[in-house]
Amino acid sequence: MWLVGLLVSVSLACNMQPQPTPQPTATPQPQYCLPFSGIRPQAARPDDPAGYQTVIRDFLNRGGSPADLEGMLRAWGVIDDHLGGRVDYGHDLNGDRLLDVLITLHYPVTAAAPQPPGMLLIFGCQVPGQPYQVLYGYASAPGSAQSMPQISYRIEQATASGVKEQTSDSIRDITLDGLPEIIFWVEQCTRLACFREPIILTWDRASARFHTLSDPFTVMYRYTDDLRRPVRGLPNAGITLVAFSDARPPELVIEEGDLYDSGVAQNAPQREFGPFLPTRHTWTWNGFQYVYTAADPLLDHPYASLYIYMLRRADQALRVNDLDDAITLYQEAMQRGTLWGGVADSDANRAMEKAMLDAYARYRLVLAYTALRSDLARQTLTAMQQERPWQLTDLPSHYTLLATSFYQTFVAVSSANSAENALRIACERVRQDAQVQAPRTYEFLGDPAYFGVVLNDYTVEDLCPFQ
């Protein structure tokens, strides 16, 4: 939490008469649920981590201080300077004017858990003199691949001279509601990468309990582990709060890192995962929760120039009806896009990729020009029919067939429908034709045997954007 210093200016009387010496104002002492007894209770570490919270709660309720609690947890081997862990007792997390006790710890390290799982616990009460209770608990299963919770992220504070960056493990009021939030993350490593799931925790006054503001993050989680179980999180993610002023909540930015850059995945064959282009995801506060507002691919990454990714950026522009930008991006992709070559890289695969993506780009140009009511739609379609891109036999290629179907359907229904409805009807015809006659038109674009698992999300619905 940013601290704002208070400057007190005292004016001296002009008559220079002796003035009363100002007396310092007493600073209220922090209040805890229970007073500390002055003794140092100790307890043996439970064999099962499921018993940790009971032993820790009893320790506090016997008058043990948070400082002594940290000493006991270090003696247990569940907090250390290498793997981390903490005991924080300087924040009122639920607005009851009593300081709560927050603990993160890892389970004892074993050979089976090089990245140990662990837990986050919050103890507190709402009336002085009441015993400590568990207000919140987050625990990963012993022996699981999920790490202990970590409270660590970066802060970017905009200043007059530029952006000031710092790393923080603090607990702060980011929503400006008078209560601090806790941002923590847990990590799970697979053969592909290490995935971080961020969680924003805050106290809800209405229900008198902690709840999360981070449920919308799950829309970004799209990977599975080696057993095809969903993995929660974003690959090798960095978490940043971007504050533009002290008067409004900061943006939350999560930037993906490269796949296969973790120690777990160093020896994995990389091409089978496909060409992964990291994305920067942005969430903004709407007064109730953090909502997803932007997905920006990292255009300085080497994979940003791949033909397939340039086409996907053009597709995104067409999806939001930014027709001029879409046309420019499709043309640039055809001129400058570099080739991946498939999971099994070869000259033949690169030649097939070039031919197929050229045909796809021309097909999408027919859609964009049609939406602009430009005669370039007819001209582009005629060129496809004459030049036969991605055509290996005497039959027209799949994308030439779809471009023809789209354009002819649009022309046929335009007189009886609005332009918007005619585009929708033409798109529906394209999807029907693709499913029945030419499934490769969309299967190739999302084929994990070609582009790997990172680009396997293209479906027939993505073939035509007008709905």
With b for 16 or more beta-carbon neighbours within 10 A and e for fewer, the 219-240 pattern comes to ebeebeeeeeeebbbbbbbebb
Is residue 447 pLDDT above 60, yes or no? yes
Q: Say whether pLDDT at 265 is over 60.
A: no
Give mean pLDDT, residues 260-267.
Answer: 51
Q: Estimate the crossing angle of helix 66-76 against helix 52-61, to 10 degrees.
A: 150
Band the pLDDT of 98: cuts 50, 70, 90: very high
Is the domain of 361 the same as that of 259? Answer: no
- Please state, in angstroms and rounded to a whole number, the distance separating the CA atoms of residues 135 and 148: 18
Beta strands (DSSP E) in 256-403 are 279-285, 290-297
Q: Is residue 287 part of a domain?
A: yes
Q: Which of 106-115, 196-205, 290-299, 380-389 has the lowest mean pLDDT?
A: 106-115
Which of 37-51, 218-232, 316-330, 336-350 is modeled with the greatest confidence? Answer: 316-330
**Boundary-marking domain end, from 264, 280, 299:** 299
Residues 138 and 55 in one domain: yes
Residues 289 and 322 in one domain: no
What local confidence, expressed as pLDDT, does residue 444 receive? 73
CA–CA gap between residue 378 and residue 368 (Å, rounded): 11
Whether 83 and 108 have beta carbons less than 8 Å apart is answered as no
For residue 402, which of 423, 430, 375 has the smallest C-alpha distance? 430
pLDDT of residue 325: 97
Instruction: State the pLDDT at residue 118.
Output: 95
Contact 297, 279 (CB under 8 A): yes
Please state, in angstroms and rounded to a whole number, the distance separating the CA atoms of residues 103 and 105: 7
How many angstroms from the chain centroid is the CA of residue 276? 15
Q: Within a 10 A sphere around the Cβ of 68, how many other Cβ atoms?
A: 19
Same domain, 289 and 317: no
What value does the mean pLDDT take over residues 205-225?
82
In angstroms, rounded to a whole number, what is the distance separating the alpha carbons of residues 278 and 141?
30
- What is d(CA 121, CA 184) in angstroms, rounded to the nearest whole number? 12
pLDDT for residue 65? 92
- The answer on pLDDT for 395 being more than 70 is no
Give the span between the Cα atoms of 97 and 174, in whole angstroms: 19
Residue at 22 is within a domain: no
Rounded Cα distance, 155 and 9, in Å: 32
The Cα–Cα gap between 360 and 358 comes to 5
- Is the same domain home to 59 and 119? yes
* Rg of the chain (C-alpha set): 30
Mean pLDDT of 226-234: 80
Domain housing 283: 150-299
Q: What is the mean pLDDT of residues 241-252?
A: 87
Element (H, E) at 90: strand 86-91
Question: How far is CA 8 from its chain centroid?
Answer: 44
Q: Both 249 and 397 in a single domain?
A: no
pLDDT score for 19: 40
Which residue from 87, 259, 89, 288 is spatially nearest to 177, judged by alpha carbons? Answer: 288
Query: Taking 90 as the threshold, does the pLDDT of residue 424 lie above it?
Result: yes
When comparing pLDDT for 237 and 100, which is higher?
Answer: 100
Report the pLDDT averaged over residues 252-272. 68
pLDDT at 160: 67
Judge if 220 and 288 occupy the same domain.
yes
The average pLDDT across 413-433 equals 95
On whether residue 21 sits in a domain, the answer given is: no
431: in domain: yes
Which tops the pLDDT comparison, 438 or 75? 75
Model confidence pTM above 0.95 = no
- Specify if 11 maps to a domain: no
pLDDT at 441: 65
Could you tell me if 258 and 179 lie in one domain? Answer: yes
pLDDT surpassing 60 at residue 312 = yes
Residue that finishes a domain, picked among 94, 120, 144: 144
Answer yes or no: is 55 within a domain: yes
Same domain, 207 and 139: no
pLDDT of residue 1: 30
- Determine which of 15-24, 98-107, 302-311 has the lowest per-residue pLDDT on average: 15-24
Residue 154 host element (H or E): strand 153-159
Q: Could you tell me what percent of the chain has a pLDDT over 70? A: 85
Task: Please give the tally of structural domains in the chain.
Answer: 3
Residues 140 and 66 in one domain: yes
**Domain-terminating residue out of 267, 282, 299:** 299
Q: How many residues does the chain have?
A: 467
Token pair of 335, please?
Answer: 């001129």
Indicate if 134 and 166 belong to the same structural domain.
no
In-domain check, residue 280: yes
Mean per-residue pLDDT, 380-393: 81
Q: Find the mean pLDDT for residues 71-100.
A: 93
Whole-number Cα distances in Å, 18 to 8, 279, 459: 20, 67, 85
Q: How confident is the model at residue 122, as a pLDDT?
A: 97
Angle formed at CA 112 by CA 106 and CA 118, multiple of 5 degrees: 15
Query: Cβ–Cβ contacts within 10 Å for residue 391, how many?
Result: 17
Three-state SS annotation for 391-452: CCCCCCCHHHHHHHHHHHHHHHHHCCCCHHHHHHHHHHHHHHHHHHCCCHHHHHHHCHHHHC
Query: Is 4 inside any structural domain?
Result: no
Q: Spell out where 229-307 has E strands.
A: 230-231, 234-235, 238-243, 251-255, 279-285, 290-297
